Chain A
Amino acid sequence: MLFRPDRRDFSLIGFYTGKVLFGVGVAMLIPAVMAVALGERNELYAFLLSAGLAISVGRATELLLYTRESLSTSHGLATVALSWLLAPIFAALPLLLSGHYASYLDAYFESMSGFATIGLTLANDLDHMARSVNLWRHLMQFIGGQGIVVVVLTILASAGGRIGYLYTGEGREEKILPNVIRTSRFIWRVALIYSLIGTTLLWIAVIGAGLQPLTALYHGANLFMAAFDTGGFATQSSSVAFYRSVYVEAVLLPLMTAGAFSFALHYQLWLGRRSELVYNIETRTIATSTLVMFAILAVGLARTGTFTEPGVMMRQGFFQVVSAHTTTGLATVPGRLYVTDWGVLAPAVLVTAMAFGGMAGSTAGGIKAMRIGLILKGVIRDVRKVLLPEDAIVVTTFHSSTRKMLTENQLRAAATVLLLWLVLYFGGGLIGLFYGYELQLSLFESTAAASSGGLSVGLVRPALEWPLKVVYIAQMMIGRLEFIAVFALLGYLLAIVRGRV
Protein backbone atom coordinates (compact mmCIF):
# COMPACT_ATOMS: atom_id res chain seq x y z
CA MET A 1 0.00 0.00 0.00
CA LEU A 2 1.56 3.16 -1.20
CA PHE A 3 1.79 6.38 0.70
CA ARG A 4 1.55 9.53 -1.26
CA PRO A 5 5.00 11.06 -1.68
CA ASP A 6 5.59 14.01 0.58
CA ARG A 7 7.83 17.04 0.42
CA ARG A 8 10.82 15.01 1.55
CA ASP A 9 10.45 12.51 -1.30
CA PHE A 10 10.17 15.24 -3.91
CA SER A 11 13.11 17.14 -2.47
CA LEU A 12 15.34 14.10 -2.47
CA ILE A 13 14.50 13.00 -5.98
CA GLY A 14 14.56 16.53 -7.36
CA PHE A 15 17.79 17.48 -5.59
CA TYR A 16 19.76 14.54 -6.90
CA THR A 17 18.26 14.80 -10.36
CA GLY A 18 19.44 18.40 -10.34
CA LYS A 19 22.95 17.22 -9.53
CA VAL A 20 22.89 14.87 -12.52
CA LEU A 21 21.70 17.63 -14.85
CA PHE A 22 24.46 19.88 -13.53
CA GLY A 23 26.99 17.14 -14.31
CA VAL A 24 25.68 16.70 -17.84
CA GLY A 25 25.96 20.46 -18.34
CA VAL A 26 29.57 20.50 -17.20
CA ALA A 27 30.33 17.59 -19.53
CA MET A 28 29.08 19.63 -22.47
CA LEU A 29 31.92 22.07 -21.89
CA ILE A 30 34.37 19.48 -23.24
CA PRO A 31 33.02 19.57 -26.81
CA ALA A 32 32.70 23.34 -26.37
CA VAL A 33 36.46 23.54 -25.88
CA MET A 34 36.95 21.41 -29.00
CA ALA A 35 34.65 23.71 -30.94
CA VAL A 36 36.81 26.66 -29.93
CA ALA A 37 39.95 24.86 -31.05
CA LEU A 38 38.44 23.97 -34.43
CA GLY A 39 36.70 27.25 -35.09
CA GLU A 40 33.22 25.67 -35.13
CA ARG A 41 31.45 28.83 -34.04
CA ASN A 42 27.82 27.83 -34.25
CA GLU A 43 28.53 24.56 -32.50
CA LEU A 44 30.38 26.47 -29.77
CA TYR A 45 27.35 28.67 -29.17
CA ALA A 46 25.12 25.60 -29.15
CA PHE A 47 27.24 23.87 -26.50
CA LEU A 48 27.54 27.01 -24.37
CA LEU A 49 23.80 27.49 -24.55
CA SER A 50 23.01 23.89 -23.68
CA ALA A 51 25.63 23.67 -20.95
CA GLY A 52 24.45 26.95 -19.50
CA LEU A 53 20.85 25.74 -19.47
CA ALA A 54 21.64 22.40 -17.90
CA ILE A 55 23.93 23.94 -15.30
CA SER A 56 21.37 26.61 -14.49
CA VAL A 57 18.50 24.18 -14.14
CA GLY A 58 20.64 21.79 -12.14
CA ARG A 59 21.92 24.42 -9.73
CA ALA A 60 18.51 26.08 -9.38
CA THR A 61 16.95 22.74 -8.47
CA GLU A 62 19.68 22.07 -5.95
CA LEU A 63 19.14 25.49 -4.38
CA LEU A 64 15.36 25.19 -4.20
CA LEU A 65 15.18 21.58 -3.09
CA TYR A 66 18.23 21.44 -0.87
CA THR A 67 18.29 18.49 1.49
CA ARG A 68 20.92 16.85 3.61
CA GLU A 69 19.22 13.50 3.70
CA SER A 70 20.59 10.52 1.89
CA LEU A 71 18.82 8.50 -0.74
CA SER A 72 16.95 5.35 0.03
CA THR A 73 16.95 2.66 -2.61
CA SER A 74 13.58 3.59 -4.03
CA HIS A 75 14.49 7.27 -4.13
CA GLY A 76 17.72 6.39 -5.87
CA LEU A 77 15.98 4.33 -8.49
CA ALA A 78 13.40 7.01 -9.15
CA THR A 79 16.17 9.61 -9.41
CA VAL A 80 17.99 7.49 -11.96
CA ALA A 81 14.87 7.03 -14.04
CA LEU A 82 13.93 10.71 -13.89
CA SER A 83 17.48 11.79 -14.76
CA TRP A 84 17.46 9.39 -17.66
CA LEU A 85 14.31 11.03 -18.96
CA LEU A 86 15.39 14.63 -18.47
CA ALA A 87 19.10 14.64 -19.30
CA PRO A 88 18.59 13.84 -23.00
CA ILE A 89 16.38 16.91 -23.33
CA PHE A 90 19.40 19.10 -22.62
CA ALA A 91 21.88 16.84 -24.36
CA ALA A 92 19.75 16.89 -27.50
CA LEU A 93 19.95 20.65 -27.88
CA PRO A 94 23.45 20.85 -29.39
CA LEU A 95 22.57 17.93 -31.67
CA LEU A 96 19.47 19.67 -32.95
CA LEU A 97 21.34 22.92 -33.43
CA SER A 98 24.08 21.18 -35.40
CA GLY A 99 21.65 20.97 -38.27
CA HIS A 100 21.99 17.22 -38.72
CA TYR A 101 18.74 16.17 -37.05
CA ALA A 102 15.33 16.57 -38.59
CA SER A 103 13.44 17.22 -35.36
CA TYR A 104 13.81 17.47 -31.61
CA LEU A 105 12.44 13.95 -31.37
CA ASP A 106 15.28 12.70 -33.55
CA ALA A 107 17.82 14.57 -31.44
CA TYR A 108 16.24 13.20 -28.24
CA PHE A 109 16.38 9.69 -29.71
CA GLU A 110 20.07 10.19 -30.47
CA SER A 111 20.77 11.43 -26.94
CA MET A 112 18.94 8.51 -25.39
CA SER A 113 20.83 6.20 -27.71
CA GLY A 114 24.02 7.88 -26.53
CA PHE A 115 23.48 7.80 -22.78
CA ALA A 116 22.08 4.29 -22.86
CA THR A 117 25.03 3.17 -25.03
CA ILE A 118 22.72 1.76 -27.65
CA GLY A 119 24.31 2.94 -30.86
CA LEU A 120 21.28 3.30 -33.13
CA THR A 121 21.54 6.63 -34.90
CA LEU A 122 19.20 9.08 -36.59
CA ALA A 123 21.93 11.43 -37.74
CA ASN A 124 21.58 12.84 -41.23
CA ASP A 125 24.76 13.19 -43.24
CA LEU A 126 27.06 12.01 -40.46
CA ASP A 127 30.09 12.23 -42.74
CA HIS A 128 29.85 16.03 -42.81
CA MET A 129 29.10 16.49 -39.14
CA ALA A 130 31.11 18.97 -37.10
CA ARG A 131 33.79 17.28 -35.01
CA SER A 132 32.70 18.77 -31.70
CA VAL A 133 29.17 17.49 -32.20
CA ASN A 134 30.42 14.04 -33.12
CA LEU A 135 32.64 14.10 -30.04
CA TRP A 136 29.58 14.87 -27.92
CA ARG A 137 27.77 11.84 -29.36
CA HIS A 138 30.62 9.64 -28.20
CA LEU A 139 31.05 11.42 -24.87
CA MET A 140 27.42 10.72 -24.10
CA GLN A 141 28.16 7.03 -24.46
CA PHE A 142 31.14 7.32 -22.13
CA ILE A 143 29.19 9.24 -19.50
CA GLY A 144 26.13 7.07 -19.80
CA GLY A 145 28.10 3.85 -19.74
CA GLN A 146 30.20 4.72 -16.74
CA GLY A 147 27.23 6.35 -15.08
CA ILE A 148 25.02 3.32 -15.29
CA VAL A 149 27.78 1.13 -13.86
CA VAL A 150 28.19 3.43 -10.88
CA VAL A 151 24.44 3.49 -10.39
CA VAL A 152 24.05 -0.24 -10.65
CA LEU A 153 26.91 -1.01 -8.33
CA THR A 154 25.95 1.50 -5.70
CA ILE A 155 22.20 1.90 -5.66
CA LEU A 156 21.17 -1.49 -6.92
CA ALA A 157 23.80 -3.32 -4.92
CA SER A 158 22.06 -2.12 -1.81
CA ALA A 159 18.69 -3.24 -3.10
CA GLY A 160 18.99 -6.55 -1.39
CA GLY A 161 21.34 -9.48 -1.20
CA ARG A 162 19.20 -11.85 -3.20
CA ILE A 163 18.26 -9.83 -6.22
CA GLY A 164 21.44 -7.78 -6.06
CA TYR A 165 23.26 -10.64 -7.82
CA LEU A 166 21.06 -10.27 -10.82
CA TYR A 167 21.89 -6.61 -11.31
CA THR A 168 25.43 -6.34 -10.18
CA GLY A 169 26.93 -9.76 -10.20
CA GLU A 170 27.47 -9.11 -6.51
CA GLY A 171 25.08 -9.10 -3.60
CA ARG A 172 24.92 -6.88 -0.56
CA GLU A 173 27.17 -9.22 1.38
CA GLU A 174 30.03 -8.61 -0.97
CA LYS A 175 30.01 -5.22 -2.60
CA ILE A 176 33.20 -4.82 -4.55
CA LEU A 177 34.61 -2.46 -1.98
CA PRO A 178 33.12 -1.75 1.40
CA ASN A 179 31.54 1.55 0.61
CA VAL A 180 29.93 3.52 -2.17
CA ILE A 181 32.62 6.12 -2.57
CA ARG A 182 35.43 3.62 -2.85
CA THR A 183 33.42 1.60 -5.34
CA SER A 184 32.78 4.64 -7.52
CA ARG A 185 36.44 5.65 -7.30
CA PHE A 186 37.55 2.22 -8.37
CA ILE A 187 35.18 2.27 -11.34
CA TRP A 188 36.52 5.61 -12.48
CA ARG A 189 40.11 4.49 -12.01
CA VAL A 190 39.52 1.41 -14.17
CA ALA A 191 37.79 3.56 -16.78
CA LEU A 192 40.60 6.12 -16.77
CA ILE A 193 43.42 3.64 -17.15
CA TYR A 194 41.58 1.71 -19.82
CA SER A 195 40.94 5.04 -21.55
CA LEU A 196 44.61 5.94 -21.59
CA ILE A 197 45.82 2.56 -22.76
CA GLY A 198 42.92 1.84 -25.09
CA THR A 199 42.98 5.24 -26.77
CA THR A 200 46.75 5.02 -27.24
CA LEU A 201 46.53 1.59 -28.84
CA LEU A 202 43.70 2.68 -31.10
CA TRP A 203 45.55 5.87 -31.96
CA ILE A 204 48.51 3.82 -33.15
CA ALA A 205 46.26 1.43 -35.06
CA VAL A 206 44.37 4.25 -36.79
CA ILE A 207 47.62 6.01 -37.73
CA GLY A 208 48.69 2.68 -39.16
CA ALA A 209 45.45 2.63 -41.12
CA GLY A 210 46.54 5.83 -42.82
CA LEU A 211 45.07 8.80 -40.96
CA GLN A 212 47.04 11.86 -39.91
CA PRO A 213 48.18 11.85 -36.25
CA LEU A 214 45.83 14.54 -34.93
CA THR A 215 42.81 13.20 -36.79
CA ALA A 216 43.78 9.70 -35.72
CA LEU A 217 43.71 10.77 -32.07
CA TYR A 218 40.20 12.11 -32.50
CA HIS A 219 39.07 8.90 -34.20
CA GLY A 220 40.91 6.78 -31.66
CA ALA A 221 39.31 8.49 -28.68
CA ASN A 222 35.84 8.21 -30.20
CA LEU A 223 36.36 4.57 -31.12
CA PHE A 224 37.55 3.82 -27.61
CA MET A 225 34.48 5.36 -26.04
CA ALA A 226 32.24 3.49 -28.43
CA ALA A 227 33.93 0.16 -27.76
CA PHE A 228 34.71 0.25 -24.03
CA ASP A 229 31.31 1.57 -23.14
CA THR A 230 29.77 -0.93 -25.55
CA GLY A 231 28.08 2.00 -27.26
CA GLY A 232 28.46 1.63 -31.00
CA PHE A 233 28.33 5.16 -32.38
CA ALA A 234 31.01 5.72 -34.97
CA THR A 235 32.65 8.84 -36.36
CA GLN A 236 31.92 7.85 -39.94
CA SER A 237 28.78 6.45 -41.47
CA SER A 238 30.62 3.32 -42.59
CA SER A 239 31.46 2.53 -38.94
CA VAL A 240 34.57 0.45 -38.36
CA ALA A 241 34.72 -0.61 -42.01
CA PHE A 242 35.94 2.92 -42.76
CA TYR A 243 39.43 2.12 -41.47
CA ARG A 244 39.86 -0.97 -43.69
CA SER A 245 42.18 -2.30 -41.02
CA VAL A 246 42.44 -5.66 -39.29
CA TYR A 247 44.60 -4.01 -36.64
CA VAL A 248 41.93 -1.55 -35.63
CA GLU A 249 39.42 -4.39 -35.43
CA ALA A 250 41.86 -6.51 -33.44
CA VAL A 251 42.36 -3.76 -30.84
CA LEU A 252 38.62 -3.17 -30.62
CA LEU A 253 37.88 -6.81 -29.76
CA PRO A 254 39.47 -6.87 -26.28
CA LEU A 255 38.12 -3.37 -25.60
CA MET A 256 34.58 -4.51 -26.32
CA THR A 257 35.17 -7.57 -24.17
CA ALA A 258 36.45 -5.38 -21.34
CA GLY A 259 33.31 -3.30 -21.66
CA ALA A 260 31.12 -6.35 -21.27
CA PHE A 261 32.98 -7.54 -18.17
CA SER A 262 31.45 -6.47 -14.90
CA PHE A 263 33.44 -4.14 -12.73
CA ALA A 264 33.32 -6.74 -10.01
CA LEU A 265 35.24 -9.00 -12.39
CA HIS A 266 37.67 -6.21 -13.25
CA TYR A 267 38.35 -5.87 -9.54
CA GLN A 268 39.16 -9.55 -9.25
CA LEU A 269 41.39 -9.40 -12.29
CA TRP A 270 43.21 -6.33 -11.00
CA LEU A 271 43.97 -8.27 -7.84
CA GLY A 272 45.56 -10.89 -10.01
CA ARG A 273 42.87 -13.57 -9.56
CA ARG A 274 42.89 -14.80 -13.14
CA SER A 275 41.16 -17.99 -12.09
CA GLU A 276 37.97 -15.97 -11.75
CA LEU A 277 37.81 -15.96 -15.54
CA VAL A 278 37.55 -19.71 -15.52
CA TYR A 279 35.21 -20.28 -12.59
CA ASN A 280 32.87 -17.32 -12.75
CA ILE A 281 29.40 -18.38 -13.87
CA GLU A 282 29.02 -15.35 -16.10
CA THR A 283 32.31 -15.64 -17.96
CA ARG A 284 31.60 -19.32 -18.49
CA THR A 285 28.16 -18.55 -19.84
CA ILE A 286 29.39 -15.82 -22.17
CA ALA A 287 32.34 -17.83 -23.42
CA THR A 288 30.17 -20.86 -24.13
CA SER A 289 27.47 -18.76 -25.69
CA THR A 290 29.96 -16.93 -27.92
CA LEU A 291 31.43 -20.19 -29.16
CA VAL A 292 28.04 -21.72 -29.84
CA MET A 293 26.72 -18.62 -31.55
CA PHE A 294 29.81 -18.22 -33.66
CA ALA A 295 29.55 -21.83 -34.71
CA ILE A 296 25.93 -21.39 -35.79
CA LEU A 297 26.74 -18.09 -37.49
CA ALA A 298 29.63 -19.71 -39.34
CA VAL A 299 27.41 -22.53 -40.50
CA GLY A 300 24.78 -20.07 -41.68
CA LEU A 301 27.30 -17.95 -43.56
CA ALA A 302 29.08 -20.92 -45.05
CA ARG A 303 25.87 -22.50 -46.28
CA THR A 304 24.76 -19.37 -48.09
CA GLY A 305 28.25 -19.04 -49.47
CA THR A 306 28.68 -15.59 -47.93
CA PHE A 307 32.10 -16.37 -46.53
CA THR A 308 34.04 -19.42 -47.59
CA GLU A 309 37.51 -18.65 -46.26
CA PRO A 310 38.21 -19.16 -42.53
CA GLY A 311 40.20 -15.92 -42.43
CA VAL A 312 37.33 -13.77 -43.65
CA MET A 313 34.86 -15.77 -41.56
CA MET A 314 36.87 -14.86 -38.49
CA ARG A 315 37.50 -11.27 -39.42
CA GLN A 316 33.89 -10.40 -40.22
CA GLY A 317 31.91 -13.11 -38.46
CA PHE A 318 33.78 -13.14 -35.16
CA PHE A 319 33.85 -9.36 -34.92
CA GLN A 320 30.12 -9.11 -35.52
CA VAL A 321 29.33 -11.85 -33.00
CA VAL A 322 31.46 -10.17 -30.34
CA SER A 323 30.03 -6.77 -31.23
CA ALA A 324 26.52 -8.16 -30.86
CA HIS A 325 27.12 -10.25 -27.74
CA THR A 326 28.81 -7.41 -25.89
CA THR A 327 25.93 -5.24 -27.15
CA THR A 328 28.41 -2.77 -28.60
CA GLY A 329 27.02 -2.43 -32.11
CA LEU A 330 30.10 -1.43 -34.07
CA ALA A 331 29.84 -2.86 -37.56
CA THR A 332 32.37 -3.94 -40.15
CA VAL A 333 29.65 -4.81 -42.63
CA PRO A 334 27.02 -2.41 -44.04
CA GLY A 335 23.78 -3.16 -42.19
CA ARG A 336 21.80 -3.74 -45.37
CA LEU A 337 23.98 -6.74 -46.14
CA TYR A 338 22.67 -8.60 -43.08
CA VAL A 339 19.41 -8.79 -44.97
CA THR A 340 20.60 -9.20 -48.54
CA ASP A 341 23.76 -11.22 -48.16
CA TRP A 342 23.82 -13.04 -44.83
CA GLY A 343 20.87 -15.33 -45.30
CA VAL A 344 18.43 -15.88 -42.46
CA LEU A 345 20.36 -17.91 -39.90
CA ALA A 346 23.30 -15.56 -39.39
CA PRO A 347 21.24 -12.42 -38.65
CA ALA A 348 19.13 -14.49 -36.27
CA VAL A 349 22.31 -15.41 -34.41
CA LEU A 350 23.19 -11.74 -34.13
CA VAL A 351 19.75 -10.98 -32.70
CA THR A 352 20.13 -13.77 -30.16
CA ALA A 353 23.61 -12.62 -29.21
CA MET A 354 22.35 -9.08 -28.61
CA ALA A 355 19.41 -10.45 -26.68
CA PHE A 356 21.69 -12.43 -24.35
CA GLY A 357 23.99 -9.53 -23.68
CA GLY A 358 26.95 -9.16 -21.35
CA MET A 359 27.71 -9.43 -17.67
CA ALA A 360 25.62 -7.83 -14.97
CA GLY A 361 27.27 -4.73 -13.57
CA SER A 362 28.95 -3.77 -16.85
CA THR A 363 28.04 -1.30 -19.56
CA ALA A 364 26.62 -4.09 -21.70
CA GLY A 365 22.88 -4.63 -21.95
CA GLY A 366 20.68 -7.61 -22.75
CA ILE A 367 19.24 -10.24 -20.47
CA LYS A 368 22.69 -10.63 -18.86
CA ALA A 369 24.89 -13.65 -18.48
CA MET A 370 24.17 -13.99 -14.76
CA ARG A 371 20.47 -14.63 -15.30
CA ILE A 372 21.00 -16.98 -18.20
CA GLY A 373 23.66 -18.86 -16.29
CA LEU A 374 21.49 -19.18 -13.19
CA ILE A 375 18.47 -20.33 -15.16
CA LEU A 376 20.52 -22.94 -16.99
CA LYS A 377 21.86 -24.20 -13.68
CA GLY A 378 18.31 -24.29 -12.40
CA VAL A 379 17.21 -26.40 -15.33
CA ILE A 380 20.10 -28.79 -14.86
CA ARG A 381 19.28 -29.03 -11.16
CA ASP A 382 15.66 -29.86 -11.88
CA VAL A 383 16.70 -32.57 -14.31
CA ARG A 384 19.02 -34.04 -11.70
CA LYS A 385 16.22 -33.98 -9.14
CA VAL A 386 14.06 -36.02 -11.43
CA LEU A 387 16.75 -38.57 -12.09
CA LEU A 388 17.96 -38.98 -8.52
CA PRO A 389 16.06 -40.87 -5.75
CA GLU A 390 13.18 -38.91 -4.27
CA ASP A 391 14.71 -38.15 -0.92
CA ALA A 392 18.05 -37.06 -2.34
CA ILE A 393 18.91 -33.47 -1.61
CA VAL A 394 20.29 -31.56 -4.55
CA VAL A 395 22.43 -28.56 -3.77
CA THR A 396 23.55 -26.41 -6.60
CA THR A 397 26.18 -23.73 -6.27
CA PHE A 398 27.65 -21.16 -8.60
CA HIS A 399 30.78 -19.09 -8.51
CA SER A 400 30.77 -15.33 -8.59
CA SER A 401 33.87 -14.03 -6.78
CA THR A 402 33.03 -16.61 -4.13
CA ARG A 403 31.01 -19.77 -4.04
CA LYS A 404 27.31 -19.16 -3.56
CA MET A 405 24.26 -21.34 -3.23
CA LEU A 406 21.57 -21.28 -5.83
CA THR A 407 18.29 -20.44 -4.11
CA GLU A 408 14.69 -20.59 -5.27
CA ASN A 409 14.28 -16.85 -4.84
CA GLN A 410 17.19 -16.10 -7.11
CA LEU A 411 15.87 -18.46 -9.75
CA ARG A 412 12.43 -16.97 -9.58
CA ALA A 413 13.79 -13.42 -9.83
CA ALA A 414 16.02 -14.38 -12.76
CA ALA A 415 13.15 -16.08 -14.57
CA THR A 416 10.81 -13.15 -13.96
CA VAL A 417 13.27 -10.66 -15.37
CA LEU A 418 13.97 -12.97 -18.32
CA LEU A 419 10.27 -12.94 -19.05
CA LEU A 420 10.17 -9.15 -18.87
CA TRP A 421 13.04 -8.95 -21.35
CA LEU A 422 11.31 -11.28 -23.78
CA VAL A 423 8.15 -9.22 -23.52
CA LEU A 424 10.19 -6.10 -24.24
CA TYR A 425 11.92 -7.64 -27.26
CA PHE A 426 8.80 -9.14 -28.77
CA GLY A 427 6.56 -6.22 -27.89
CA GLY A 428 8.73 -3.81 -29.83
CA GLY A 429 8.99 -6.32 -32.64
CA LEU A 430 5.22 -6.67 -32.92
CA ILE A 431 4.70 -2.93 -32.99
CA GLY A 432 7.09 -2.76 -35.93
CA LEU A 433 4.85 -5.21 -37.79
CA PHE A 434 2.04 -2.71 -37.55
CA TYR A 435 4.00 -0.36 -39.81
CA GLY A 436 4.62 -2.97 -42.44
CA TYR A 437 8.12 -4.07 -41.55
CA GLU A 438 8.89 -7.76 -41.83
CA LEU A 439 8.99 -9.69 -38.56
CA GLN A 440 12.66 -10.59 -39.01
CA LEU A 441 13.67 -6.94 -39.47
CA SER A 442 11.33 -5.65 -36.82
CA LEU A 443 12.55 -8.11 -34.22
CA PHE A 444 16.18 -7.34 -35.06
CA GLU A 445 15.71 -3.63 -34.55
CA SER A 446 13.55 -4.03 -31.44
CA THR A 447 16.15 -6.27 -29.82
CA ALA A 448 18.91 -3.89 -30.85
CA ALA A 449 17.12 -1.04 -29.11
CA ALA A 450 16.12 -2.86 -25.93
CA SER A 451 19.33 -4.79 -25.40
CA SER A 452 21.49 -1.74 -26.20
CA GLY A 453 22.99 -3.84 -28.99
CA GLY A 454 22.72 -1.17 -31.61
CA LEU A 455 23.36 -3.11 -34.80
CA SER A 456 20.84 -2.06 -37.39
CA VAL A 457 19.34 -3.58 -40.51
CA GLY A 458 18.14 -0.18 -41.67
CA LEU A 459 14.79 0.29 -39.96
CA VAL A 460 16.07 3.03 -37.70
CA ARG A 461 16.63 5.90 -40.06
CA PRO A 462 15.40 9.50 -40.08
CA ALA A 463 12.39 8.54 -42.24
CA LEU A 464 11.17 6.09 -39.57
CA GLU A 465 7.60 6.65 -38.41
CA TRP A 466 7.58 8.82 -35.31
CA PRO A 467 5.51 6.48 -33.10
CA LEU A 468 8.14 3.82 -33.68
CA LYS A 469 10.83 6.29 -32.68
CA VAL A 470 8.96 6.86 -29.42
CA VAL A 471 8.60 3.11 -28.91
CA TYR A 472 12.32 2.55 -29.45
CA ILE A 473 13.19 5.41 -27.09
CA ALA A 474 11.05 3.78 -24.42
CA GLN A 475 12.65 0.40 -25.10
CA MET A 476 16.12 1.88 -24.88
CA MET A 477 15.38 3.46 -21.55
CA ILE A 478 13.56 0.51 -20.02
CA GLY A 479 16.22 -1.90 -21.20
CA ARG A 480 19.09 0.20 -19.96
CA LEU A 481 17.50 0.74 -16.56
CA GLU A 482 16.54 -2.92 -16.41
CA PHE A 483 12.92 -2.40 -15.52
CA ILE A 484 13.43 -1.87 -11.82
CA ALA A 485 14.27 1.82 -11.94
CA VAL A 486 11.41 2.48 -14.35
CA PHE A 487 9.03 0.58 -12.08
CA ALA A 488 10.24 2.65 -9.13
CA LEU A 489 9.48 5.87 -10.99
CA LEU A 490 6.09 4.58 -12.11
CA GLY A 491 5.46 3.56 -8.54
CA TYR A 492 6.06 7.09 -7.33
CA LEU A 493 3.80 8.46 -10.06
CA LEU A 494 1.10 6.01 -9.11
CA ALA A 495 1.50 6.92 -5.47
CA ILE A 496 0.99 10.58 -6.28
CA VAL A 497 -2.33 9.78 -7.85
CA ARG A 498 -3.62 6.98 -5.72
CA GLY A 499 -1.49 6.88 -2.62
CA ARG A 500 -2.89 7.13 0.85
CA VAL A 501 -2.39 10.37 2.68
Chain B
Amino acid sequence: MAHWSLPSVTRLRAGWRRSPLHGAVLGIASVALATVAVALACTAIAFVVTTIY
Protein backbone atom coordinates (compact mmCIF):
# COMPACT_ATOMS: atom_id res chain seq x y z
CA MET B 1 0.00 0.00 0.00
CA ALA B 2 1.32 3.46 -0.92
CA HIS B 3 2.44 5.63 1.91
CA TRP B 4 0.44 8.88 2.10
CA SER B 5 1.61 11.92 4.02
CA LEU B 6 0.47 15.49 4.35
CA PRO B 7 1.78 17.74 1.58
CA SER B 8 4.46 20.04 2.88
CA VAL B 9 3.76 23.71 3.35
CA THR B 10 6.28 24.52 0.65
CA ARG B 11 4.47 22.39 -1.92
CA LEU B 12 1.11 23.84 -0.97
CA ARG B 13 2.44 27.32 -1.30
CA ALA B 14 3.98 26.54 -4.68
CA GLY B 15 0.70 25.05 -5.86
CA TRP B 16 -1.20 28.12 -4.71
CA ARG B 17 1.19 30.42 -6.51
CA ARG B 18 0.69 28.52 -9.72
CA SER B 19 -3.07 28.58 -9.55
CA PRO B 20 -4.92 31.13 -11.69
CA LEU B 21 -6.87 32.38 -8.68
CA HIS B 22 -3.69 33.53 -6.99
CA GLY B 23 -3.13 36.50 -9.24
CA ALA B 24 -6.76 37.48 -9.04
CA VAL B 25 -6.83 37.53 -5.26
CA LEU B 26 -3.59 39.53 -5.10
CA GLY B 27 -4.84 42.00 -7.67
CA ILE B 28 -8.23 42.53 -6.10
CA ALA B 29 -6.73 42.83 -2.64
CA SER B 30 -4.35 45.51 -3.91
CA VAL B 31 -7.17 47.54 -5.42
CA ALA B 32 -9.17 47.29 -2.22
CA LEU B 33 -6.10 48.34 -0.25
CA ALA B 34 -5.55 51.38 -2.45
CA THR B 35 -9.19 52.43 -2.16
CA VAL B 36 -9.20 52.04 1.61
CA ALA B 37 -5.96 54.00 1.93
CA VAL B 38 -7.32 56.95 -0.02
CA ALA B 39 -10.64 56.71 1.82
CA LEU B 40 -8.91 56.89 5.19
CA ALA B 41 -6.93 59.93 4.13
CA CYS B 42 -10.12 61.60 2.91
CA THR B 43 -11.91 60.75 6.15
CA ALA B 44 -9.20 62.63 8.00
CA ILE B 45 -9.65 65.56 5.65
CA ALA B 46 -13.41 65.45 6.17
CA PHE B 47 -12.95 65.59 9.93
CA VAL B 48 -10.62 68.54 9.70
CA VAL B 49 -12.79 70.48 7.28
CA THR B 50 -16.05 69.93 9.13
CA THR B 51 -14.38 70.96 12.36
CA ILE B 52 -13.05 74.18 10.89
CA TYR B 53 -16.27 75.24 9.17
Contact = CB atoms under 8 A, between A and B. Distances in A.
A34 interface: no
Given A298-B50, A308-B50, A261 B31 contact: yes
B35 to A, nearest CB: 4
Interface string B13-53: 00000001101101110111111011101110111011011
A309 to B, nearest CB: 6
A266 interface: yes
Contact of B39 (A253, A261, A298, A308): A253
Nearest to B47: A310
A339 to B, nearest CB: 21
Contact of B35 (A254, A274, A302): A254
A427 B45 CA distance: 35
B49 A298 contact: yes
Contact of B38 (A197, A270, A272, A291): A291
Given A302-B52, A302-B53, A294 B45 contact: yes
Contacts, number: 87
A302 B50 contact: yes
A281 to B, nearest CB: 15
Interface string A271-313: 1101001000001000100110011001100110001111001
Given A291-B41, A314-B43, A269 B31 contact: yes
Contact of B31 (A257, A287, A291, A302): A257
Nearest to A198: B28
Contacts of B23: 270-272
Contacts of A257: 31, 34-35
A124 B47 CA distance: 40
A294 B39 CA distance: 10
B24 A270 contact: yes
B3 to A, nearest CB: 35
A261 B31 CA distance: 9
Interface of B is mostly: helix
Interface residues of A, number: 36
A307 B50 CA distance: 8
A314 B35 CA distance: 13
A194 interface: yes
A310 B30 contact: no
Nearest to B26: A272
A269 B43 contact: no
Contact of B50 (A189, A283, A313, A321): A313
Given A270-B27, A302-B50, A295 B34 contact: no
A197 B24 CA distance: 10
Contacts of B30: 269, 274, 277
A451 B4 CA distance: 60
A176 to B, nearest CB: 13
A190 interface: yes
Interface in A5-40: none
A317 interface: yes
Contact of A193 (B24, B34, B43): B24
B36 to A, nearest CB: 8
A317 B45 CA distance: 11
A93 interface: no
Most chain-B Cβ atoms within 10 A of its Cβ — which of A257, A269, A299, A307? A269
Nearest to A190: B27
A338 interface: no
A277 B39 contact: no
Nearest to B53: A302
Contacts of A194: 28
Given A274-B30, A299-B49, A287 B38 contact: yes
Contact of B45 (A254, A269, A298, A307): A298
A317 B46 contact: yes
A270 B31 contact: no
A183 to B, nearest CB: 15
Nearest to B41: A291
Given A291-B45, A294-B46, A302-B50, 6 more contacts: A269-B26, A270-B27, A271-B23, A272-B26, A295-B49, A313-B46
Interface of A: 189-190, 193-194, 197, 253-254, 257-258, 261, 266, 269-272, 274, 277, 283, 287, 290-291, 294-295, 298-299, 302-303, 307-310, 313-314, 317-318, 321
16 contacts: A189-B20, A190-B27, A253-B35, A254-B31, A254-B32, A277-B33, A287-B34, A290-B38, A291-B45, A295-B45, A302-B52, A310-B43, A310-B47, A310-B49, A310-B50, A317-B46
Interface of B: 20-21, 23-24, 26-28, 30-35, 37-39, 41-43, 45-47, 49-50, 52-53
